[in-house]
Structure 1
Amino acid sequence: MSEAPAYVIANFDIHDADEYRKYEKGFFPILKRHEGEFFTYDDNTETFEGASPRTGRMVMFKFPSAEKAQAWYADPDYQALSEHRRAGTHLHFLTMVHGMPPRA
């Protein structure tokens, strides 16, 4: 049986674009190392119902499993790189959502 994918969703406001660019430049090689797949980002999300979520940038990416997502986040290279994100943004949330297991 295949593992269920895990999705990571981040929401943040960028207040120092230069610091955030340093983060962006190093992000994708580390993501790929952990078999992560970038989906999309949006600076202008639209809420159809309910209270509007936080403002700012929404980013979505996927890993083949929760274990891969956790390994990505715990990676010392990612943690060092994320200092640029912390310096350049105000993070509202960085959340892992467990995907549905494949149906037989």
Structure 2
Amino acid sequence: MSDAPAYVIANFIVHDKDEYRKYEKGFFPILNRHQGEFFTFDDKPVTFEGAEPREGRMVIFKFPNEDAAKSWYNDPDYQQLSEFRRAGTDLKFITMVHGLPPRD
């Protein structure tokens, strides 16, 4: 297991606020269970370059390492809860990005 942090970035458009709120209500206890931290979100991210501008909500979470991020995503409780996100949003991506390893 690496000691480097891992970040999870999600981009989606909310089309059913009621379904998405059900997801939000159960999200943080599961995130906390896996030592995840809410970093930030933005409903109007700015794309400086690229062929396709990103629309919708951009969310970033931090985990202590890759194993914790994978454990969170694969948690059966999270996958069950994700059905509300799937019903209430058009997901573009959920991506894990590795942080820099600790320096000696």
How far the C-alpha of 1:77 sits from its partner, in A, is 0.4
Report the 3-state secondary structure (helix = DSSP H, G, I; strand = E; otherwise coil) of the residue aligned with 2:7.
strand
Secondary structure in structure 2 of the residue aligned to 1:49? coil
CA deviation digits over 1:69-104, x for unaligned, max 9? 000001000000000000000000000001110101
What is the CA deviation profile of residues 16-35 of structure 1, one whole-angstrom value per residue up to 9, with x for unaligned ones?
A: 00000000000000000000
Deviation at 1:52, TM superposition (A): 4.4
CA separation in 2, counterparts of 1:21 and 1:100? 33
**Structure 1: tracts of 5 or more residues without a match:** none
Q: Is the 8 A contact 2:34 2:72 kept in 1?
A: yes
Aligned partners of 1:48, 1:77: CA distance in 2, in Å?
A: 37
Aligned-pair Cα RMSD in Å: 1.1
Aligned sequence identity (%): 74
What is the aligned length? 103
- TM value normalised by structure 1: 0.95
SS state at 1:92 partner: strand
Gaps of 5+ in 2: none
